[in-house]
């Protein structure tokens, strides 16, 4: 899937670079429909997973708050470094609310706030996934197992799950899956909400 994501993005980039399509001609009904179809598919795969509920019930109650702390921490952290790179708070918050899911957050932000901010969201969340791959083991060792779920954000349910599992214990792997799932659901809810603050 990763090469499909990168090659479709690269193909679009090259076509755009050589054909110079005016912004107005790209936006139409198609992106909206495709976005709805994508989000529908995300919801569908989550709803279909019957074991999901049994898995969540097996977790200690206190850990259920973890994804919401990660969501708040990601947004606040992005807003906090905003002044260092002259990104206004509302825009930084949007970038942070990708929670590492670069493909969905990139397209969501570009649809509602334009390609420039969409590009920043895409890149920042690609880097977040990269940082998570590099530092999850270090975070687990230094800050404890539950904290190792934080760097990956939404990717803790797929891309970074094996890394969390390898550097912690089975219960934390379960927490990673749960946390990544909740954050994935939050991306298409929080981004449109924050996008209203930018306008």
Partner 1 sequence: MALMIGALILGFAAGRCRLLPDFLRSKVSAMGSLALIVLLFTLGLSMGSDEQIIAALPVLGLKAVLLAVGTVMGSVLLVWGATRLGGRRR
Using rule CB under 8 A, residue 165 touches partner 1: no
Stretch that binds partner 1, among 83-91, 157-165, 166-174 (CB under 8 A): 83-91
| Nearest distance in Å: CB 46, partner 1 | 6
| Nearest distance in Å: CB 58, partner 1 | 18
Tokens of 101: 């899911």
Beta carbon nearer to partner 1, 134 or 166: 134
For residue 63, which of 157, 167, 176 has the smallest C-alpha distance?
176
Using rule CB under 8 A, residue 88 touches partner 1: no
Using rule CB under 8 A, residue 197 touches partner 1: no
Q: How many residues bind partner 1 (CB under 8 A)?
A: 103
| Nearest distance in Å: CB 170, partner 1 | 18
Using rule CB under 8 A, residue 31 touches partner 1: yes
Q: Which residue in 56, 59, 64, 69 binds partner 1 (CB under 8 A)? A: 69
C-alpha 98/C-alpha 111 separation (Å) is 14
Q: CA distances (Å), 129 to each of 11, 44, 83, 104, 153, in order?
A: 22, 24, 23, 13, 8
Evaluate whether 180 touches 155 at the Cβ level (below 8 Å).
yes
Using rule CB under 8 A, residue 11 touches partner 1: yes
Q: Rounded to the nearest 10 degrees, what angle do helices 89-96 and 102-113 cross at?
A: 150
| Nearest distance in Å: CB 137, partner 1 | 13
For residue 96, which of 199, 190, 197 has the smallest C-alpha distance?
190
Residue 176: Cβ within 10 Å count: 30
Using rule CB under 8 A, residue 180 touches partner 1: no
Beta carbon nearer to partner 1, 23 or 170: 23
Interacting positions 122-161 with partner 1 (CB under 8 A): 122-128, 130-132, 135, 139, 143-144, 146-147, 149-151, 153
Using rule CB under 8 A, residue 16 touches partner 1: yes
Residue with the two structure tokens 């920042």: 124
| Nearest distance in Å: CB 131, partner 1 | 5
C-alpha 64/C-alpha 173 separation (Å) is 14
Tokens of 21: 């399509």
Radius of gyration of the chain from Cα atoms? 17
Using rule CB under 8 A, residue 58 touches partner 1: no
């Amino acid at each position: 899937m990763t090469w499909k994501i990168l090659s479709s993005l690269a193909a679009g980039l090259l076509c755009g670079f050589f054909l110079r399509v005016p912004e107005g001609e790209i936006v139409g009904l198609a992106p909206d429909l495709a976005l709805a179809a994508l989000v529908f598919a995300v919801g569908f795969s989550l709803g279909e997973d019957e074991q999901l509920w049994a898995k969540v019930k097996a977790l200690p109650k206190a850990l259920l708050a973890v994804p919401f702390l990660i969501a708040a921490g990601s947004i606040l952290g992005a807003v906090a470094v905003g002044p260092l790179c002259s990104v206004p708070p509302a825009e930084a918050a949007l970038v942070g609310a990708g929670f590492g899911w670069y493909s969905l957050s990139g397209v969501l932000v570009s649809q509602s706030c334009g390609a420039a901010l969409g590009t920043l969201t895409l890149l920042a969340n690609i880097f977040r996934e990269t940082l998570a791959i590099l530092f999850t083991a270090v975070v687990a060792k230094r800050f404890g197992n539950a904290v190792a779920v934080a760097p990956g954000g939404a990717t803790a349910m797929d891309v970074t799950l094996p890394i969390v599992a390898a550097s912690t214990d089975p219960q934390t792997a379960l927490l990673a899956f749960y946390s990544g799932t909740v954050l994935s659901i939050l991306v298409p809810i929080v981004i449109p909400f924050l996008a209203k603050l930018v306008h």
